[in-house]
């Protein structure tokens, strides 16, 4: 059995295990994102994205009900080959689909990457200020990402890759108790061309772990185009 087959079997096993553990979740959602990115210089780049989120299974009922749409922007500055900082702005609209507050979010980010043979590690730290109609929340996030090509030693056009994200979150505000969350997301992507990439996967979200844990399962799809 070659290396590519072994990697594929590991990925399939992880997806099967992940899905079996999440079958009893009461809330399932689909989130799709389309992103455009552009490098103005070798050190400065921007990203614009539009995304939507919809319920697909809620309260023991199969549905497809839109929950929100959002627009986001990130400006990223590379510090060196491994490190970068970024600023982000996001607008999320929920009031169009349900009786809920819209959100404006400011994000500050630091990212560091490293490589061990064919395995890439990414450490991402974020602080966020989330502005709602009647309160403001402050959230701090740490994400560890690991990705590996499924064919060969590096990712080439037409090849696939596997990535898993592990993220811890802490949210605080003056009107609510601090909340701890955790997210686990295995995904498979394909590099269709030098400028076009597709990615799809699952994401398990655990919210309010320190209060009363709620669980939700996301089916994520994304398209990224470099222009």
Phi and psi at residue 31, in whole multiples of 5°? -125, 130
Where are the extended beta strands (E) located within the chain? 27-39, 44-58, 61-78, 83-93, 103-116, 119-131, 136-149, 160-173, 176-191, 196-207, 214-226
Residue 212 lies in a domain: yes
Residue 153 lies in a domain: yes
Number of domains in the chain: 1
The pLDDT score that the predictor gives to residue 5 is 47
Residue 149 lies in a domain: yes
The pLDDT score that the predictor gives to residue 175 is 85
Give the alpha-carbon dihedral of 209, 211, 217, 218, to 10 degrees: -90
Single pTM value for the model? 0.87
The pLDDT score that the predictor gives to residue 58 is 85
Give pLDDT < 50 ranges for the chain: 1-2, 5, 9, 20-23
Residue 209 lies in a domain: yes
The pLDDT score that the predictor gives to residue 25 is 52
The pLDDT score that the predictor gives to residue 117 is 84
Residue 38 lies in a domain: no
Residue 147 lies in a domain: yes
Residue 81 lies in a domain: yes
Residue 71 lies in a domain: no
- Contact yes or no for 34/51 (Cβ under 8 A): yes
Domain that includes residue 160, residue range: 3-27+76-193+201-220
- Contact yes or no for 7/148 (Cβ under 8 A): yes
């Amino acid at each position: 059995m070659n290396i590519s087959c072994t990697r594929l079997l590991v990925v399939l096993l992880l997806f099967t295990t992940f899905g079996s553990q999440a079958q009893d979740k009461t809330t399932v959602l689909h989130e799709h994102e389309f992103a455009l990115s552009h490098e103005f210089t070798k050190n400065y780049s921007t990203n614009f994205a539009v995304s939507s989120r919809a319920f697909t299974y809620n309260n023991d009922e199969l549905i497809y009900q839109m929950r929100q749409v959002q627009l986001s922007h990130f400006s990223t500055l590379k510090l060196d080959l491994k490190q970068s900082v970024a600023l982000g702005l996001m607008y999320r609209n929920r009031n169009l689909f349900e009786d809920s507050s819209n959100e404006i979010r400011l994000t500050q980010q630091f990212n560091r990457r490293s490589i061990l043979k064919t395995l890439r590690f990414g450490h991402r730290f974020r602080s966020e200020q989330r502005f709602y109609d009647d309160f403001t929340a402050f959230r701090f996030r740490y994400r560890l990402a690991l990705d590996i090509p499924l064919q060969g030693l590096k990712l080439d056009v037409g090849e696939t890759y596997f990535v898993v994200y592990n993220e811890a979150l802490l949210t605080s505000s003056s009107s609510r108790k601090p909340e701890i969350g955790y997210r686990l997301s295995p995904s498979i992507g394909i590099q269709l061309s030098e400028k076009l990439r597709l990615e799809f996967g699952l994401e398990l979200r655990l919210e309010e772990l320190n209060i009363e844990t709620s669980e939700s399962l996301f089916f994520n799809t994304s398209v990224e185009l470099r222009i």
